[in-house]
Amino acid sequence: METQAQITGIKPGDHDAYMRLALSLATRSPPKPTNYRVGALVVDVATNEILATGYTLELPGNTHAEQCCIEKLAKQYAVDPALLSQALPDEVAIYTTVEPCILRLSGNKPCVERILDIGKSRVKTVYVGVQEPDTFVSGNSGSQRLKDAGIEVVHVPGLEDEILAVATAGHKAAT
């Protein structure tokens, strides 16, 4: 049986292609002035299999892309999201178009905390397309928090303009 990465033709370690796929997912999110349109995916590093994909507001509630991936994985493995470290393969990577949030103004659990719940025992690397703009939360330190916990954060360059255009669609233009 072919994996999703094989079907999409993404080769192991092709971070640009994975980020482009995450960006295509972000375009599925409805443009709203109150959120960023973000796409994310979780990849099994050993097999190059895409385990889950997600985008902002894909699932019911005020859901973020990384949250959607984690909730789908929890359902797939029939475990509580906080117990995913016991179910996931040995090494997964997360690709997300915008740096994971460290604070949710809605009161929901931040994506950084969700990733840390899985832990560095499984999530070795988070690949990001852009840092979170200061629109909603000034000075997001999500990447630093992940690094402090032993999870590598890698910027995938080259798509910043496209990512920001998609992420901020629906926002009022600065006057």
Active-site residue set:
66
Which is it for strands 92-98 and 49-55: parallel, antiparallel or unpaired?
A: unpaired
Q: What is the C-alpha to C-alpha distance for residues 13 and 158, in angstroms, rounded to an integer? A: 16
Beta strands in the chain (DSSP E): 39-44, 49-55, 92-98, 123-130, 152-155
What is the identity of the amino acid at 57?
L
The residue count of the chain comes to 175
CB neighbour list of residue 49: distance below 8 Å, 6 or more residues apart: 3, 4, 5, 43
Burial class (CB in 10 A: 0-12, 13-18, 19+), 49: middle
